[in-house]
Amino acid sequence: MQTNIEQIHPDSDHDKISPGRLKAIFGGSVGNLVEWYDWYAYSAFAIYFSSAFFPEGNDTVRLLNTAGIFALGFLMRPLGGYLFGRIADRIGRKQSMTLSVLLMSLGSLLIALTPTYTTIGILAPVLLLTARLLQGLSVGGEYGVSATYLSEMATKNRRGFYSSFQYVTLIGGQLLALALQLLLQKVLLSEQQLMEWGWRIPFVFGAILSVVALYLRKNLEETRAFENQRKKDTEKKGTIKELLKHPKAVITVVGLTLGGTLAFYTYTTYMQKFLVNTVKMTREESTLLSFLSLFLFACLQPLFGALSDKIGRKPLLIGFGILGTLCTVPLLTALSQTSNQWTAFLLLMASLIIVSGYTSINAVVKAELFPAEVRALGVGLPYALTVAIFGGTAEYIALWLKDWGHESYYYWYITGCIFCSLLVYVFMKDTKTNSKLNEDQ
Give the model's confidence band at 324: pLDDT under 50 very low, under 70 low, under 90 confident, else very high.
Answer: very high
Is residue 258 within 8 Å of residue 421, measured between CB atoms?
yes
Q: What's the chain's average pLDDT? A: 82
143-157, 220-234, 290-304 — which one is most confidently predicted on average? 290-304
Give the model's confidence band at 422: pLDDT under 50 very low, under 70 low, under 90 confident, else very high.
Answer: very high
- Worst-scoring range by mean pLDDT, 43-47, 190-194, 240-244, 410-414? 43-47
Give the model's confidence band at 233: pLDDT under 50 very low, under 70 low, under 90 confident, else very high.
Answer: low
**pLDDT (0 to 100) of residue 7:** 41
What is the CA angle 88-93-95, rounded to 5?
Answer: 90
Report how far apart, in Å, the C-alpha atoms of 141 and of each of 58, 95, 275 are. 35, 12, 31
> Greater confidence, 353 or 1?
353
Give the model's confidence band at 279: pLDDT under 50 very low, under 70 low, under 90 confident, else very high.
Answer: confident
Q: Domain coordinates of the chain in residue numbers?
A: 21-223+239-440
pLDDT tens, 379-414? 889 998 898 888 777 877 888 888 888 888 999 999
**pLDDT (0 to 100) of residue 12:** 38
* Eight-state DSSP code of residue 232: S
> Greater confidence, 432 or 57?
432
Average pLDDT over residues 148-156: 82
Report how far apart, in Å, the C-alpha atoms of 78 and of each of 250, 383, 389, 415, 432 are. 13, 8, 10, 25, 27
Report how far apart, in Å, the C-alpha atoms of 124 and of each of 61, 132, 136, 316 are. 17, 12, 18, 45
In the predicted structure, residue 6 carries a pLDDT above the cut 50? no
Is residue 147 within 8 Å of residue 366, measured between CB atoms?
yes
What is the CA angle 363-369-375, rounded to 5?
Answer: 75
Tell me the backbone φ, ψ of residue 17, rounded to 5 degrees. -95, 95
**pLDDT (0 to 100) of residue 117:** 76
- Worst-scoring range by mean pLDDT, 73-77, 246-250, 266-270, 335-339? 73-77
> How many Cα atoms within 13 Å fall on the side-chain side of residue 246?
25
**pLDDT (0 to 100) of residue 55:** 64
pLDDT tens, 35-53? 778 777 877 787 787 777 7
Among positive and negative, which fits the CA dihedral 324, 328, 334, 335?
positive
Average pLDDT over residues 192-206: 86
**pLDDT (0 to 100) of residue 214:** 78
What is the CA angle 299-162-1, rounded to 5?
Answer: 140
Is residue 96 within 8 Å of residue 33, measured between CB atoms?
no
65-69, 344-348, 388-392 — which one is most confidently predicted on average? 344-348
> How many Cα atoms within 13 Å fall on the side-chain side of residue 347?
21
- CATH numeric code, 21-223+239-440: 1.20.1250.20
In the predicted structure, residue 61 carries a pLDDT above the cut 70? no
Question: How far apart, in whole angstroms, are the C-alpha atoms of residue 15 and residue 155?
Answer: 5
Residue 405 φ/ψ region, left for φ over 0, alpha for ψ in the -120 to 50 degree band, beta for the rest: left
Question: How far apart, in whole angstroms, are the C-alpha atoms of residue 72 and residue 77?
Answer: 9
In the predicted structure, residue 304 carries a pLDDT above the cut 90? yes
**pLDDT (0 to 100) of residue 1:** 38
Average pLDDT over residues 158-187: 85
Give the model's confidence band at 415: pLDDT under 50 very low, under 70 low, under 90 confident, else very high.
Answer: very high
Give the model's confidence band at 361: pLDDT under 50 very low, under 70 low, under 90 confident, else very high.
Answer: very high
Average pLDDT over residues 405-424: 92
Q: Which of 66, 73, 136, 60 is nearest to 103 (CA)?
A: 136
